[in-house]
Structure 1
Amino acid sequence: MSSILPPDLYGRRRGDRYLRFLTRLVDAYLPTATKTDRYARPRPVPPLDLVVAARESVAEDVVSLLLAAPDGGELPRWQPGAHLDLRLPSGRTRQYSLCGDPADRHAYRIAVRRVDTGGGGSAEVHRDLPVDTRLTVRGPRNAFPFAAEPAVLLIAGGIGITPILPMAAEAIRRGLDWRLVHTGRTRASLPFAARVAELAERHPGRVLTLPDDEHGVPDGERLLALAPAGAAVYCCGPAPMLDSVRAALDTGPATALHFERFAPAPIVDGRPFTLRLRRTGEELPVPADRSALDVLRERDPATPYSCRQGFCGVCRQRVTGGTPEHRDRRLTERERAEGDMLVCVSRAAEGACLELDL
């Protein structure tokens, strides 16, 4: 039996016109209907050129930016929990949660706390983005979606209020049984305190503000005790708060936890391995408790990165030798097979060597 299939179902050597028509139709329809390519991979979202339409201080060391299209046109829709990838004038890319009103199609609002010990992105936002600055952004994309369960507890630590505020608005719109807790060092350090106070006034008994200097640092058990029975918890804030909430989940009335970190999660089961840079032959040891991205940035601070949690794709590198242990939530199996790797989270076996196209 011949291993070459005829181009026609009935064995004719010329192609079937009807099947050719169906193939073209499917190739055209599926990407349009599903927003993927013919291999079911998400199609790249084109970048947006936006302008800083307004900026204001919303807490100590926190600035809020309103971004709009230069012509005032409508912007892509977004859902609570979504963020933008902001390309800064220096070339850095950073992610910031949307904290405005999803119903407003003409502006995106973000807020950024200045962290002088960070990678320089927040300082650049505060220093170099006055009104009328042109920016390129990608998104909105959502790695912290709000599922709108019937009962929810929303916990925000400091600047973590940014994705939480749209969730509170959505909970109100849907008539859910919701609670909101905002924690932070001091009242002056809490972003959007006026908006939170307005929510508290309009919805008595549902909003609680807990500055550390007045109430002490709340632990996870205390925070989760505020949840309605059977609630889903949405938590965004610093790592110690998230770890405390996760550890206490089984002790309170909540039944599910969704969270977003400010910083990368601790490395679990890390083992030392080596990076080899193909173009120079240089070898860089990666310790068990550090990421490949950490080591690459130590060598070259301009190494691109953003989320450091394996979902944005900014730190993608091409592997030309060795076998990565993929720990990301972004790459498809096809992309991994083609040699892509997200160096912020993915690693290699103990003692192995990964060669990167660098």
Structure 2
Amino acid sequence: MTLFFEHESFPQRVRFGSGQAAAMLTDEIARLGASRVMVIAAPAESALAEDVTADLPVAHHHHEVVMHVPVETAARARATAARHEIDLLVSVGGGSTTGLAKAIALTSGLPIVAVPTTYAGSEATTVWGLTEGARKTTGSAARVLPRAVIYDATLTLSLPVPMSVASGLNALAHCVDSMWGPRADPIDRALAQEGIRALRIGLPQVTANPADLDGREHALYAAYLSARAFSSAGSGLHHKICHVLGGTFDLPHAQTHAIVLPYVLAYNAPAAPEAEQQIAAAFSATDALDGLQQLRKRLNAPTALREYGLNRSDIERAVDAIVPAVPVSNPRPVTADDLRRLLDAAYSGADPASFAYGRGNKR
């Protein structure tokens, strides 16, 4: 075996312990020397955020959190942080909450300590995203990576099962995209493979017994692995598609990822046999797509974009926006007609196996 690659890891402190969020967070704020903290949490999680930040020097609680981080929302949050002379941000919540903290850090350089309550994984990446009008812009900057992450599975216990499933499959999408992202390397693939394995174990436990901490811990552990792999490997075809769908048509982030994933896997896997084998092994299956679909069936995963607000008439507009963003490193070429077929299948919830080019030849 001959290996040749470059891999860059960003500095971040990670603390993991069920029931320990408040104590771990207090330690981290003291370690960073902050004295005027801005706590960011959506209204639905404001009580939870107040509990875990009760012992912090909080100067302001901020609750205006909007999916896909509109630029107007980010501007108001930045102004609020400046007005209160904030020296550190604490985000308590999912991807939208972490995303808002990143938007503030992008222009201010303020440090972030993230306390995730979903499996979105944004807390472990250098990726930021802002939406203006119907266009979502993403980028990567080291300054938006949280200095520390506090993982406490008890904070995910109130996450409903359908949202847990969608959020977990979003993490799984990070893993799959990390197998062939623009900068994917063997370390990224190893992290992604372990992330898939942990999600295969954890998510069925969460659906069978939502109060089971073991399943929640597996999913949270996997969310971190998937995000680290994705942050290094870069955004692949799946995420380019989903960013357009979310930003342009305001589709829910996690559900969109959960629905689109099997179609991208079906499209790319025949052209990436080594990655396909790694994904299959993580699912303990002989075929990557079969393994994913078996898991999705056990989880009663969402299946069709039409159920979440996409209209068939939107597909052509989406194709036009996605084509220029397709990574040149994708395992197989992608045409507008390919995207049209993929989105039409995801719109209606068609069987991904029937969509897979070359699937019959592979066997």
TM-score, scaled relative to structure 1: 0.30
Q: Report the structure, 1 or 2, having the larger helix content.
A: 2
Larger radius of gyration: 1
TM-score, scaled relative to structure 2: 0.30
